Amino acid sequence: MTYRLFEGKDHAFIYHRYRIPPPEEVKNLILQYLDKKKGQPHVLAVDLGCGTGQLSRVLAPHFHQVVGIDVSESQLEQARVVPGTPTSHTTSKGSAEELPFQDHSVDLLTASSAAHWFDQARFLGEANRVLKVGGCIALVDYVLANSRLQYQDCGDRLTHIFQEAKQTLLPHTSSPVVLSQSKLEDLFAAIPFSDKERIDTIRVNTSITVRDLTGLIETWSMFQTFMKKHPREAVHMLISTQNRLLEEMGVVSLDTKIGHEMEYFCILASKP
């Protein structure tokens, strides 16, 4: 089954504006693994469920070509108009279960916060078909429950407010998102390549504004589901979360920055 929860133009704009791209630490792990397993040259990377191209653009300088694949034309339209996008980065409408590439033609298949939406068996069958010998799969995501916020002496309280927002949205969480937050254990077990590994804890410290943090919540599929069912309540929850953060911090500007610790995980596999 191909899930279609991110197709609206408004959501595509929000996704582009607020969704956080994978950090340098994760990008470097992927490239080092590919260097080790397949070696140079890195010709073609395919970013599955690419959304508005956050991971695609990070990888583009390291490949002759990076193709972002997504079922949502609105997401792809947004990806195409991002200023400064490298010419090596192109997009194509499609799904992870039916890839428009020849057998043994792809160096790297990636997905960032997307693999939990794939039909597991069909995706892995296509991965086996299109990857070159030594070609790699790299699946990246982060664990919401382990996000931490920091601002002066109120970090624990800010983290509690953020986690309360997540708890409010849990009844609107789809089963694929639950799979993601379990670190894709079932998908990792199903990868047919013997050469595979998982890196469960990659802690990344960065900063984010209050505006962008509440915008990130707005990008979540569970918020979008809540918004469709109960729009007034969803907007109220978002504004309330934002105001509680500001009040706890003792500031009024939405552009005030908060320390943001995120925990990523990465699944890596190489075709024999």
* 122-155 tens-digit pLDDT: 999 999 999 999 999 999 999 888 899 999 999 9
pLDDT in tens, 65-94: 999 999 888 888 888 887 777 788 899 999
What's residue 271's pLDDT? 98
Does the residue 3 lie in any domain? no
pLDDT computed for residue 170 by the predictor = 87
The residues of the chain scoring below 50 in pLDDT are: 1-8
pLDDT given at position 79: 81
Domain that holds residue 262: 9-271
- Residue 1 is assigned to a structural domain of this protein: no
pLDDT of 82 = 79
Which CATH number belongs to the domain containing residue 63 in this structure? Answer: 3.40.50.150
Note whether residue 146 is domain-resident. Answer: yes
**76 within a domain of the structure (yes/no):** yes
Q: How many domains in the chain? A: 1
pLDDT at res. 267: 97
Transcribe the chain into DSSP letters: -----S-SHHHHHHHHHHPPPPPHHHHHHHHHHHHHHT-S---EEEEET-TTTHHHHHHGGGSSEEEEEES-HHHHHHHHT-TT--TTEEEEE-BTTB--S-TT-EEEEEEES-GGGS-HHHHHHHHHHHEEEEEEEEEEEE-GGG-EEESTT-HHHHHHHHHHHHHHHGGG--HHHHHHHTTTHHHHHH---SSEEEEEEEEEEEEEEHHHHHHHHHHSHHHHHHHHH-HHHHHHHHHHHHHHHHHHHT---TT-EEEEEEEEEEEEEE--
